[in-house]
Amino acid sequence: MEQDIWRLWTASGDPAIDRLMAQGLRAMANRDFAAGLGAFHDIITRAPGFAEGWNKRATLFWLMGDYDASVSDIDRTLALEPRHFGALSGLSMIRSAQDRHLEALEALQRMLVVHPNSPGVQ
């Protein structure tokens, strides 16, 4: 079921955006951060209401160690899709790394509301 949700979130319904998403994901997997940022930026520019574009760029910023940029994109993701358990998980990890443990716990609690069976959260 979780995989089905991710599939839904990742598909925009626009073939051009979906191609950019595939490019960005490949670049991220290959740790080609510049190419990934380019693809995700193009997605966000073309489809600012597509939450997964923001979430994937947040993930890339997290991989790059730019927590402030990541949190900014997580905030946008959650504004568009408040039930985005991936964004909430990422927010929790970032806040924990920043020694902001209460905020990390709050993000995990929000995540448990939308995904109570999330592996490892309990």
Q: Which residues of 89-113 are buried (b: 16+ CB within 10 A; e: fewer)?
A: bbbbbbbeeeeeeebbeebbebbee
- pLDDT at residue 99 in the model: 97
- For the chain, 122 residues long, the average pLDDT of each consecutive 10-residue run is 75 93 96 98 97 97 97 98 93 96 94 81 60
Give dist(CA 98, CA 68) in Å, integer.
10
- pLDDT at residue 121 in the model: 63
